[in-house]
Structures are given as C-alpha cells and as structure tokens.
Homo-oligomer: A and B are copies of this chain.
C-alpha cells in the first residue's frame, strides 16, 4: 500500500471509530497562517511551527468544513486507489454536487475547495501531488539524464530544441531517474535564455541538467529540483535576473515561501547556490551600463524588504542587495546578448561555474 493510501485510510478509520464509540469526531490541522510560520536557520527552510487547530463534527461552525474535508479525502483515496490523477479544478467540479438530501452543494466555488486540499496536505503531511491532484503543468527540462516517465524511457540528451515538458505530478511512482553523468542542475528563470543555452548545447559542455519554468517555478518544478538534489545528490545552481524578483525566486527554490511553508520540507533545496546575474557582474564582465535599467520605486521597496528577511542574512546576499541599491540598477539575463548572442553560453556561464562564483 502506498503511503498516501495508508494515511487516507487511517484518517477514515479514525473518524469512523470516533463515530462508533460516541466521541466527537475531529481532524487536527496544523495552522498555516503567518503566526505559525518560521525560518529555521539550522534547516535553512521556512516551515510551519507546531500550532494546530481542531475541526469538530459536532460544532455548528465546523460541520460544513468537516464534511468538505472528508469528501475531498474520499475523492483523493479513490484517485490513489485507481492510480488516476485529476486537476484541482476537476476535483472542484466533481464535488459541485448537492449534499445528499439537501439543496446546498458540497462546494460552490474553487476558492472553497483549494484551501481544503491544503488542509489535508498539512494534516496528513502529504503533498496534493501524492494524493494524485494536479495543477497546471509548467516548465521544460533537458540535459544529461535518462528518466522513466509513466513507463516510457526518455533520454533527455536527445530531446532536440524543445525538451521534455515537465508534468504537474513528478512523484516517484511516475517519474524515475535512470542514469546520468551530470555534475549539477541548472535552473534558468527565463525560457528564452534556456533555449539559447540548449541551442549551444551548454548542458553537454558543462555536464548538467537544465530546467526552466518561466518565472516563479511551479510546485512540480520545485519538487523535481528537490528530488534530483537528494536522489541524484547533485547541487542545484540558479540563474535568474539581477533584480529583487530574480533574487526572490531563488529564495523560494532554496528556503521555500511563507504562503506555502508547509511544502518546504518536500520541495526546498536549502543548499541551492545562486550563480547570477548579480549587479556585481556588471563590472566583472564589463557589461555596458547602457543595458542595465534603473531600479523602480517598487524594486527599491522590494529590495529593502529582502534585506530584512531572516533568510537573506548572509554576507553574500547583504552585500549584493546593498550593492544593487547603491548602484540603483538592475540587469536582465537577456542584457548579456549585448556582448554577443552566445556570450552567455561561451563566456559568462562557463567562467561563473569554473570559478564557483556563487552567492551562498
């Protein structure tokens, strides 16, 4: 039996026994609000604290949510048993049906069902993906790795200019790692740069696996990075824009985020390294001031917020963000093209990697 099925069955049995023995059935759910979120320096992760709340069946304020939680759990158990996945939107529509004997629907809006799914995730310590629930897929991967995906062997060294499209569920029952001789994993914020790097076969020259997801990576991408970090024992190196948003994306990959703190243990990569861009790269690589942009007021506000976050309290990051604010400039990855279209592949990246010029 899978862990998911076991945990879902245990929940059902517990509730059933409470009913049977005349107890007030209850589900215990760790609290996900800010007051219960903390950064644990030893782990390098933003995680949930120990506070929990209880959802009771015999409590008028709780009954509806109690019923909704069990209906979602029932649906998840069915999905896991049938080995089928469905999207969180499909799940909502599946349960937009009347409560038996009543006119009211179980759910009327996806805004009601999504938080219940998160409740179950934290309560059972299971990702929704482990319960076969999907969101939109996002991202592409290529490089020095052979995988098995739903029974098909896919050689990511032979995926052309397009690459392998990352599914929304990347758990080990579907995605298996077969063989590789990669030395690291390169996360690239922008797909246009990823396409340039792939065209220049950078992953072949530097022996790496390259992954992109258009901006903020999806849960699927983060989970895949986490799995490759620990199952393949490969370092994760991040390549983003030199602006507060690029830095924040890096921190989400590394430590997790406040909103999804309950995921961090399963998707975080606390020792991810930041390759660039940095505003210090401008001088080091002689990048024309012409192609950098002035920081906007919003950029400045965001940069100052980052400076204060506990997980940005390293010498490297304090120096970089202070330098950015002092210069008043930011730099996009595409700006490297100003020095030639393959400059990023032939000069910038190889030098950064060989010098291990990373922010820690």
Contact = CB atoms under 8 A, between A and B. Distances in A.
A90 B288 contact: no
A88 B288 CA distance: 19
Given A93-B332, A96-B291, A137-B191, A163 B160 contact: no
A165 to B, nearest CB: 4
A149 B164 contact: no
B164 A338 contact: no
Q: Which of A92, A150, A160, A164 has the most CB of B within 10 A?
A: A160
Question: Oligomeric state, in number of copies?
Answer: 2
Nearest to A160: B149
A4 interface: no
B192 A94 contact: no
A192 B89 contact: yes
B140 A85 contact: no
A334 interface: yes
Contact of A160 (B85, B154, B337): B154
Nearest to A168: B195
Given A137-B191, A196-B86, A337-B93, A164 B165 contact: yes
Interface in A105-156: 105, 134-137, 140, 147-154
Interface string A79-104: 10000111101111110111000000
B87 A334 contact: yes
A336 B191 CA distance: 33
Contacts of A97: 288, 290, 338
A163 B161 contact: no
A98 B288 CA distance: 11
Contacts of A79: 341
Given A87-B192, A167-B195, A169-B161, A96 B290 contact: yes
B164 A164 contact: yes
A166 B87 CA distance: 22
Q: Give the interface size class of chain A.
A: 35 or more
A93 B168 contact: no
Contact of A174 (B161, B165, B290, B332): B161
A149 B159 CA distance: 7
A98 to B, nearest CB: 8
A337 B90 CA distance: 6
A352 interface: no
Contacts of A94: 337-338, 341
A71 to B, nearest CB: 14
A158 interface: yes
A167 B174 contact: no
Nearest to A78: B341
Contacts of A163: 164-165, 167
A162 B158 contact: no
Contacts of A166: 162
B137 A105 contact: no
A105 B288 CA distance: 12
Contacts of A337: 86, 90-91, 93-94
A342 interface: yes
B214 A136 contact: yes
Contacts of A167: 160-163, 195
6 contacts: A90-B196, A134-B192, A134-B195, A140-B165, A147-B160, A154-B160
